[in-house]
Chain A
Amino acid sequence: MRVPLSWLREYVDLPATETGRDVQARLVSAGLEVETVEQLGAGLTGPLVVGRVLTIEELTGFKKPIRFCTVDVGRSNGTGEPQEIVCGARNFAVGDKVVVALPGSVLPGDFRIAERKTYGRMSRGMICSADELGMGDLGGSAHGIIVLPPEIEVGTDATELLELYDEVLDIAVTPDRGYCLSMRGVARETATAYRLPLRDPALLDVPAPNSYGYRVRIADPAGCDRFTARTVVGLDPEARSPIWMQRRLQKAGMRPISLAVDITNYVMLELGQPLHAYDRNRLQGPIGVRRAEAGEKFTTLDGVKRVLDAEDLVITDSRGPIGLAGVMGGANTEIADSETDPETGEVRGTTEIVVEAAHFDPVSVARTARRHKLSSEASRRFERGVDPQAAAAAAQRTADLLVLLAGGTAEAGVTEVAAPSAPRTIRMRADHPDRVAGVAYGRETVVRRLQEVGCDVHGQDELLVTAPSWRPDLRAPNDLAEEVIRLEGYENLPSTLPTPPSGRGLTRRRRLHRRVGRALAGADYVEALNYPFLGEAVLDQFGLDADDPRRTVVTLVNPISDEEPALRTTLLPGLLSALRRNVGRGSHDLALFETGLVFRPTGEETAPGVLPVDRRPTDEEIAMLDAALPHQPRRAATVLAGAREQAGWWGGGRPADWADAIESARTIAREAGAELTVRADRHAPWHPGRCAALYATVDGEETLVGHAGELHPRVVKALGLPERSCAMEVELDLLERAGDGALRAPRISTFPVATQDVALVVASDVPAADVERALHEGAGELLESIRLFDVFEGEQIGGGRKSLAYALRFRAPDRTLTVEEASAARDAAVALAGERTGAVLRGA
């Protein structure tokens, strides 16, 4: 809502020194979001006067047509002589009244007007357009010269005439304050903020309804609980909107169109009541209000042909719909633009008007506006609540203005169809606002503040509050409390700190999330947070089988991009595209990680149906809600490319490889307190020979928790990644469950260690993990640790075989081990490894 300060002053006697910024500050603290204060006429100084064009001489020989004019500006130029002005515009004629900027004036943008020679003539001033005067965005009319009504006197100060100096408050009206979509509403808040009286423009003498007004039949009183109609006849089709009205509309952000339309818009801005003017001669039969028939067709004022829904509320005459109630009128009963008959010179146009001021159900209007994607000034107001009691006054005001400005006569008939309604009352303890705010306002203040917003208040300890008709948002005690607290000033609230009972702090899941992030960052990974949107193309590039569960996706109805309409089932596509982006920007040695949710349909989702909000849903209903959702486990992933260690003055570097990827999974598992078992696997998008499946024991069962390794060369190529890029992905929620809770501190033996090294030769395809597990088991409980320190393949041990060298450390908790004891344990370890994996001691 754009509120010109000059207009606001009509209803509230603000001190003359009060600026727009001052008013802004007051209104902001009262709860209106005044976003900007626009300074109209900033950078504009006169003399700007009204002139009459006396002569026009067309100059030729230039790139564009140029006019040399003489303009009578009266004695405002000091001489009374006609002012000579060169002008490039053409939309004016001899005799027209125009705005002349005389030499010495400055137009917005520091455009200084001076006498100067141009196009071979002396130009002493400028004939102005709306644009040049900084009158704002006025649509088409802004581009030409302003041609004023002929009755305006030559020499009049144009800055006053056009009210060029003003301030406009731009207010973002929240959905609960529909009444502030009117001057009346903003004026009321202003008056309260300044504790000044309000001149309520809706306080008009309105004749009582009678039976001889235009006939109106309401078939749906729930959709339309009030309909007022007034008729004005004998209108002069030539009448134009006065400048003051045009200017107010312009400042409020609306374009002047024609007198009748301008008046309905003006009254809507003033009182907040949307109005519609019908050309009575184009109406047939009584006006009706009903729901549309499904499929019924109707063309709105904007020329769009619409197919109606059975829920749409329509205004009709005997032929069918003439308006989409509360949203937009129809083309068929539109007020005719006046036109002059070229033969007779007679001006034809609308001379009889039926004014509609009605009240429609906010929900119905909202749905229709949304359904037809048609948000209008009217629908915006109805959706947020219009004062039903203002309809009669608005109709009266419209009729008055039509009479005043178009020379018409208001017919005596006054139609008013209104569904009976009782005033809305709210019971509230007088100290309720005190208890909400934590401030002792006292009953007297509470009552006074409620009266200021327009409530009737009765009662002592318990108040019976009747909300004013323009405040449909006031329905509950907290709504009233807010009114009291905001008018008393949010800025005056004290600052106290409640003491929560001791809480559980971070959940285990949240703590794990932090630990994993810190551990991976500590292992030199950089976190990237990627959008979870996914397209099918990347799943194809990953080489996933047709029945891969990662292809079963949750899809969005309205994705940001049609290329990526689904939600991720794996973190890797997003993380790999971040990798590629970094490479593209010149970073080559990269290790990235991400933790986040993936979305896996359960296949059994069912829409939960409509649940009530006036009670807690039952546990069954809550279960229904959860059943509607896909499974959303949290995962962690890493990707690597380039060097893991750089070469430098210290020596050589080392490329990132599959082992780094698997190690990143172990890093995460360690934080979760879980033990990972690694097995070779073939799983897209990984290299079939360099892919590890990762298992952990979850709820007593060995469970696949993820994969790691080097990416398949085809995937690397398809995605445009650096060669030998590696990746890992694990399900964090599973690892959390695999963790074994609180760690038991190990017992530390202080007896000396006995070390035994063994080199075992096995077939090349025997997993080292199997050999190690056998050694571990075979060595028995004296084994403290085992470490593989070398892997060797070569002629010495023969083809198809490899040698694994292990350092075994033995220690007893209660004694120093003898060499014999350590050797016996080693031999037992080697024996079991031999039995399980065919390992033989190297050199044996």
Chain B
Amino acid sequence: MSAPNKSYDPVEVEALKPEEIERMRDEALAAFAAAGGLDALHEAKIAHTGPASPLALANREIGALPPHAKAEAGKRVGQARGAVNRSLAARQAELEAERDARVLVEEAVDVTLPYDRTPSGARHPLTTLSERIEDVFTAMGYEVAEGPEAETEWLNFDALNIAADHPARGEHDTFFVRGARRPGGEAAGSGVVLRTHTSPVQVRSMLDREPPLYVICPGRVYRTDDLDATHTPVFHQVELLAVDEGLTMADLKGTLDHMVRALFGGEGMQTRLRPNFFPFTEPSAEMDMVCYVCRGESVGNPDRPCRTCSSEGWIELGGCGMVNPKVLTACGVDPGKYSGFAFGFGIERMLMFRHNVEDMRDMVEGDVRFTRPFGMEI
């Protein structure tokens, strides 16, 4: 394509001869191909594409050509350098891939190694279960209330319609606090007990402020039972109190149904009320929930026995009822205007049937092997 060059003898510029440029190119390509590693390729790269490489030198010669020859030589050299660079990049990629494959294999570790550098911590399942129940109710608008564990007899008993001679008072197996010793005299009665239920917190809530009142009272309570597989003198309760205008037993039932659905999930979860007696509620009921394992299907079905509910279909949960108007009166709430409902149950019991705990002692001894698997939430 180039026009003949009258004033220039291309023979004098040896390096720009087409066959010479082809040779340079081919040598470069051969060197790249021959490079067995990235280091060798790097050397070949300097030798064939660096500033002192034949093609770079040839390129420099172009400037010496007469203008009409420049274009053709430039094109020739440019094409050769392009081919060389492409080949270099390809070989570079090829060798890097080879190296990566090799190095990453060399760097491989045994990912199955165990890692128990710090054994993990955990909260006690009684704490987290209680909180889970609180959350069910705070989500509905209830408030959480707490109170002292050493409590006056008036708040623990009298205000709850459990008079001094009421048979129920004797059944509570109460720890009594010794009165302060008076100089030269026998210790007087202190009027203080370890609370036998969290109900005094409900009383305090009513004394504190006006209805409407929707509170949930979790906490530790005390009865003088010896520790064994099914009893503990120190245990945990959650109690609920709602006082408002026009509350009914149907509201109580609905609230209980809501709770067991929230805690145990799914269709068919509901509660059953059975008449019972508590001094602080009237009417009173014992509450059961559908067995969350067999959902009642083990009843009368010997082929599918249920260990959780002993094939009864129901699990006993606790006591409940409409707040006795006498209790409202003692707490300064007008029973003519307001009604209320309340329920309470033991967290230990619920933990036992919800998580198949077989021995109460596991919950009180603080053995980390028991607590750790429960983690942070339940």
- Chain A positions near chain B (C-beta within 8 angstroms): 28-33, 174-177, 362-363, 366-367, 370, 383-384, 435-439, 476, 478-479, 481-482, 485-486, 490-491, 493-507, 509-510, 514, 517-518, 520-532, 554-560, 567, 575, 578, 581-582, 585, 587, 589-592, 596-597, 599, 601, 603, 605, 607-609, 611-617, 622, 625, 628-630, 632, 644-646, 648-650, 653
Which residues does chain B contribute within 8 Å of A585, judged by CB atoms? 367, 369
Q: Which of B342-378 contact A (CB under 8 A)?
A: 363-369, 371-372, 375-376
Question: In the complex the two chains form, is B207's CB within 8 Å of A622's CB?
Answer: yes
Assess whether B70 is interfacial by the CB under 8 Å rule: no
| A669 CB → nearest B CB, Å | 18
Which residues does chain A contribute within 8 Å of B329, judged by CB atoms? 613-616
Which residues does chain A contribute within 8 Å of B325, judged by CB atoms? 476, 478
SS class, residues of chain A in contact with chain B: loop
| Binding stretch for chain A, among B5-13, B28-36, B75-83, B187-195 | B187-195
Which residues does chain A contribute within 8 Å of B44, judged by CB atoms? none
The CA of A518 and the CA of B330, in the complex, are separated in Å by 39
The CA of A597 and the CA of B149, in the complex, are separated in Å by 8
Q: What 0/1 pattern do residues 98 to 142 of B give for CB contact below 8 A with A?
A: 000000000000000111111111111011000100100010111
Question: In the complex the two chains form, is A556's CB within 8 Å of B249's CB?
Answer: no
| Binding stretch for chain A, among B18-26, B55-63, B251-259 | B251-259
| Binding stretch for chain A, among B89-97, B277-285, B290-298 | B277-285
- Chain B positions near chain A (C-beta within 8 angstroms): 113-124, 126-127, 131, 134, 138, 140-146, 148-152, 154-155, 158-159, 161, 163, 165-168, 170, 175-180, 188-192, 194, 207, 212, 214, 220, 224, 226-227, 233-234, 242, 244, 246-251, 253-255, 257-258, 270, 272-277, 279, 282-286, 322, 324-326, 329-332, 339, 363-369, 371-372, 375-376
The CA of A746 and the CA of B99, in the complex, are separated in Å by 47
**Residue in chain B with minimal CB distance to A521:** B121
| A591 CB → nearest B CB, Å | 7
| A304 CB → nearest B CB, Å | 20
User: Within the complex, which residue of A505, A560, A590 is in contact with B143, where a contact is CB–CB below 8 Å?
Assistant: A505
Question: In the complex the two chains form, is A616's CB within 8 Å of B207's CB?
Answer: yes
Question: In the complex the two chains form, is B117's CB within 8 Å of A498's CB?
Answer: no
Question: In the complex the two chains form, is B138's CB within 8 Å of A505's CB?
Answer: yes
Question: In the complex the two chains form, is A31's CB within 8 Å of B165's CB?
Answer: no
| B331 CB → nearest A CB, Å | 6
Question: In the complex the two chains form, is A175's CB within 8 Å of B168's CB?
Answer: yes
Question: In the complex the two chains form, is B251's CB within 8 Å of A560's CB?
Answer: no
| B158 CB → nearest A CB, Å | 5
Which residues does chain B contribute within 8 Å of A504, judged by CB atoms? 143
From B120, B249, B250, residue with most partner A Cβ within 10 Å: B249
| A522 CB → nearest B CB, Å | 7
User: Within the complex, which residue of A30, A436, A506, A650 is in contact with B249, where a contact is CB–CB below 8 Å?
Assistant: A436
Which residues does chain A contribute within 8 Å of B150, judged by CB atoms? 554, 567, 599, 629-630, 632
Question: In the complex the two chains form, is B152's CB within 8 Å of A629's CB?
Answer: yes
From A362, A435, A478, residue with most partner B Cβ within 10 Å: A478
Known A607-B190, A608-B152, A625-B152; further 15 A-B contacts with Cβ < 8 A = A33-B276, A476-B325, A497-B251, A498-B254, A522-B121, A526-B368, A557-B176, A557-B177, A582-B367, A597-B148, A608-B154, A613-B159, A616-B207, A629-B152, A645-B118
Question: In the complex the two chains form, is A526's CB within 8 Å of B144's CB?
Answer: no
**Residue in chain B with minimal CB distance to A575:** B366
Question: In the complex the two chains form, is A629's CB within 8 Å of B151's CB?
Answer: yes
Question: In the complex the two chains form, is B165's CB within 8 Å of A367's CB?
Answer: yes
Question: In the complex the two chains form, is A436's CB within 8 Å of B234's CB?
Answer: no
**Residue in chain A with minimal CB distance to B273:** A490
Which residues does chain A contribute within 8 Å of B276, judged by CB atoms? 31, 33, 174
**Residue in chain B with minimal CB distance to A527:** B124
Sampled A-B contacts (7; CB under 8 Å):
A437-B248, A438-B251, A486-B275, A525-B121, A581-B366, A607-B179, A607-B188
**Residue in chain A with minimal CB distance to B124:** A527
Question: In the complex the two chains form, is B254's CB within 8 Å of A495's CB?
Answer: yes
User: Within the complex, which residue of A177, A491, A605 is in contact with B180, where a contact is CB–CB below 8 Å?
Assistant: A605
User: Within the complex, which residue of A383, A528, A558, A596 is in contact with B175, where a contact is CB–CB below 8 Å?
Assistant: A558
The CA of A589 and the CA of B119, in the complex, are separated in Å by 8
Which residues does chain A contribute within 8 Å of B146, judged by CB atoms? 507, 509-510
User: Within the complex, which residue of B192, B207, B282 is in contact with A617, where a contact is CB–CB below 8 Å?
Assistant: B207
Known: A29-B274, A175-B168, A490-B273. A500 touches B365 (CB 8 A): no
Which residues does chain A contribute within 8 Å of B234, judged by CB atoms? 531-532
| A14 CB → nearest B CB, Å | 21
Question: In the complex the two chains form, is A625's CB within 8 Å of B155's CB?
Answer: yes
Which residues does chain A contribute within 8 Å of B179, judged by CB atoms? 605, 607
Question: In the complex the two chains form, is A613's CB within 8 Å of B123's CB?
Answer: no
The CA of A644 and the CA of B121, in the complex, are separated in Å by 12
Question: In the complex the two chains form, is A590's CB within 8 Å of B255's CB?
Answer: no
Which residues does chain B contribute within 8 Å of A33, judged by CB atoms? 274, 276, 286
Known: A592-B368, A629-B150. A479 touches B282 (CB 8 A): yes
The CA of A592 and the CA of B369, in the complex, are separated in Å by 12
Which residues does chain B contribute within 8 Å of A632, judged by CB atoms? 148-150
Question: In the complex the two chains form, is A500's CB within 8 Å of B207's CB?
Answer: no
Which residues does chain A contribute within 8 Å of B372, judged by CB atoms? 526
Question: In the complex the two chains form, is B167's CB within 8 Å of A555's CB?
Answer: no
Known: A490-B273, A501-B212. A650 touches B191 (CB 8 A): no
Which residues does chain A contribute within 8 Å of B226, judged by CB atoms? 560
Closest 7 CB pairs of A and B: A31-B275, A616-B332, A438-B248, A528-B366, A438-B250, A578-B366, A482-B283
**Residue in chain A with minimal CB distance to B251:** A498
Which residues does chain B contribute within 8 Å of A603, judged by CB atoms? 180
User: Within the complex, which residue of B122, B127, B367 is in contact with A581, where a contact is CB–CB below 8 Å?
Assistant: B367
Which residues does chain A contribute within 8 Å of B113, judged by CB atoms? 649
Question: In the complex the two chains form, is B148's CB within 8 Å of A500's CB?
Answer: no
Which residues does chain A contribute within 8 Å of B190, judged by CB atoms? 605, 607, 628
User: Within the complex, which residue of A30, A518, A629 is in contact with B192, where a contact is CB–CB below 8 Å?
Assistant: A629
| B209 CB → nearest A CB, Å | 11
Which residues does chain A contribute within 8 Å of B152, judged by CB atoms? 608, 625, 628-629
Question: In the complex the two chains form, is A436's CB within 8 Å of B339's CB?
Answer: yes
| A725 CB → nearest B CB, Å | 15
The CA of A804 and the CA of B6, in the complex, are separated in Å by 85
Which residues does chain B contribute within 8 Å of A555, judged by CB atoms? 177-178
**Residue in chain A with minimal CB distance to B218:** A510
Which residues does chain A contribute within 8 Å of B274, judged by CB atoms? 28-29, 31, 33, 490
**Residue in chain B with minimal CB distance to A433:** B283
The CA of A787 and the CA of B198, in the complex, are separated in Å by 48
**Residue in chain B with minimal CB distance to A510:** B144
Known: A526-B371, A605-B190, A628-B191. A521 touches B142 (CB 8 A): no
**Residue in chain A with minimal CB distance to B325:** A478
The CA of A289 and the CA of B155, in the complex, are separated in Å by 37
The CA of A624 and the CA of B120, in the complex, are separated in Å by 47
Question: In the complex the two chains form, is A485's CB within 8 Å of B283's CB?
Answer: yes
Question: In the complex the two chains form, is A495's CB within 8 Å of B257's CB?
Answer: yes
Question: In the complex the two chains form, is A558's CB within 8 Å of B275's CB?
Answer: no
Question: In the complex the two chains form, is A646's CB within 8 Å of B118's CB?
Answer: yes
User: Within the complex, which residue of A176, A494, A614 is in contact with B253, where a contact is CB–CB below 8 Å?
Assistant: A494
User: Within the complex, which residue of B131, B214, B283, B376 is in contact with A478, where a contact is CB–CB below 8 Å?
Assistant: B283
Which residues does chain B contribute within 8 Å of A630, judged by CB atoms? 150, 192
The CA of A197 and the CA of B119, in the complex, are separated in Å by 70
The CA of A645 and the CA of B119, in the complex, are separated in Å by 8
Question: In the complex the two chains form, is B134's CB within 8 Å of A506's CB?
Answer: yes
The CA of A176 and the CA of B283, in the complex, are separated in Å by 11
Which residues does chain A contribute within 8 Å of B145, judged by CB atoms? 507
Which residues does chain A contribute within 8 Å of B214, judged by CB atoms? 500-501, 503
| B58 CB → nearest A CB, Å | 48
Question: In the complex the two chains form, is B244's CB within 8 Å of A498's CB?
Answer: yes
Question: In the complex the two chains form, is A613's CB within 8 Å of B253's CB?
Answer: no
**Residue in chain A with minimal CB distance to B255:** A497
The CA of A498 and the CA of B363, in the complex, are separated in Å by 35
**Residue in chain B with minimal CB distance to A435:** B248
Question: In the complex the two chains form, is B250's CB within 8 Å of A437's CB?
Answer: yes
User: Within the complex, which residue of A175, A524, A622 is in contact with B166, where a contact is CB–CB below 8 Å?
Assistant: A175
Which residues does chain A contribute within 8 Å of B367, judged by CB atoms? 581-582, 585, 587
